[in-house]
Amino acid sequence: MIRSICLNPVIDKVYFINHFTAGRLYRDNCPARYAGGKGVNVAKVLALLGEACAIYGFIGGDSGRRLEDELISLGIQSKFIEIAGDTRTTINVIDKERNLETEILELGPAVAEEELQALIGQLTADIAPGDIVICSGAIINGAPPSIYKAIAAICVAKAAYCFLDTYGEAFHASLPGQYYFAKPNLKEFSEYLGLENKVDDRTIVAQAERLMAKGFENLMVSMGKSGAILVNHTVRLQASPPVISNQSSIGSGDASVAGYAAAINRGSDVEEAFCLSMACGVSNAMHREVGFIDLSEVNELKKRIELRHL
């Protein structure tokens, strides 16, 4: 079983407005609405890949129930804990003409200590040997920044695999730990290690090897259209994706995480996992819907991912 953690899920409202400019009036827009949050996006892609998946986190109010209903309709097992606050909403404005994306992020509700303990108790009861547990996204208000580190420790005790995909304070507080996989993007990776914005492949590999000492078995640094670099104890690989018509990159990193988890769950080797990961990320970028892939596209894209040993 793959278990996706999304502590602070969201209803994503996505507007497509070309030449968007602050301070102007835009009439008659009909936003697309999706269940969102990094862990939710991961779970949605896993379901589309045909993987059994359960999702954990906190929901509240009518928006929380709508989000849960959408995920259940996709075949995802809901393990959400209901709280008093309302599930947050995020506004995304996509300007395709200028290739710009604007996001307005709500803080969202807060959780109480007993609610946090209920989540930890549920995970402790549910996680079984060989499970994959994916810790994604920001920490909900009221939870300690180190909560992913605590979840990773449960995974170690249960002989399960823990994936980490977070940033900022939560990433710092999660280390050192024991993680099978992590996927910082280049900006997050550079900020954590104090690197300049423009770094070459050799520097990325060297710094990834340094970061692995914090408790990672596999470390993927995603670089948008330039692909990604994957480092573990035996290989250093660079993946170059094909050029596509990009609709929206929102959720592509989450789709990549889902692809890697699905491959590992199926017993694939690292190269196969890397290719599926990249193909899922690219397929997501080809569609307006967040956390969506097309299986026929993914199978074709996998053949077009170029891998190079560094």
**CATH number, residue 250:** 3.40.1190.20
Cα 218 to the center of its chain, rounded Å: 16
Predicted pLDDT at 288? 79
Residue 162 has pLDDT above 80, yes or no: yes
Any domain includes 27: no
Average pLDDT over residues 39-64: 97
Taking the CB of residue 125, how many other CB atoms lie within 10 A of it? Answer: 8
Q: How far is CA 265 from CA 133, 192, 210, in A?
A: 11, 29, 27
Helices first, then strands: H and E counts in the chain: 10, 15
CA separation for the pair 77, 75 (Å, rounded): 6
Q: For 106-129, how does the pLDDT look when each residue is reduced to its tens digit (9 = 90+)?
A: 888 999 999 999 999 999 999 999
CA separation for the pair 284, 295 (Å, rounded): 11
18-22, 78-82, 174-178: range with lowest mean pLDDT: 18-22
Any domain includes 23: no
Predicted pLDDT at 304? 95
Q: Grade residue 184 by pLDDT with cuts at 50, 70 and 90.
A: very high
Any domain includes 26: no
Residue whose token pair is 């009861």: 125
Q: Grade residue 290 by pLDDT with cuts at 50, 70 and 90.
A: confident
Any domain includes 117: yes
Rounded to the nearest integer, the mean pLDDT of the chain is 93
In angstroms and rounded to an integer, the radius of gyration of the C-alpha atoms of the chain is 19
Any domain includes 124: yes
Q: Do the beta carbons of residue 38 and residue 254 sit within 8 Å?
A: yes
Residue 102 has pLDDT above 90, yes or no: no
User: Cis (ω within 30 of 0) for the bond into 176?
Assistant: yes
Any domain includes 25: no
Residue 199 has pLDDT above 90, yes or no: no
Q: Do the beta carbons of residue 236 and residue 205 sit within 8 Å?
A: yes
Any domain includes 135: yes
Residue 98 has pLDDT above 90, yes or no: no
Q: Where are the alpha helices (DSSP H) in the chain?
A: 38-48, 61-73, 113-126, 147-157, 168-173, 186-193, 201-212, 252-265, 270-285, 295-304
Angle between helices 186-193 and 201-212 (to 10 degrees): 60
Q: How many domains does the chain have?
A: 1
Strand, helix or coil for residue 275:
helix
Any domain includes 108: yes
Average pLDDT over residues 284-307: 93
User: What's the pTM?
Assistant: 0.92
Predicted pLDDT at 8? 94
Domain that holds residue 163: 2-18+32-309
Which sign, positive or negative, has the C-alpha torsion 12, 18, 22, 25? Answer: negative
Residue 13 has pLDDT above 90, yes or no: no
- Structure tokens, 86: 């309302």
Residue type, position 251, single letter: G
Residue 275 has pLDDT above 80, yes or no: yes
**DSSP summary character for residue 226:** G
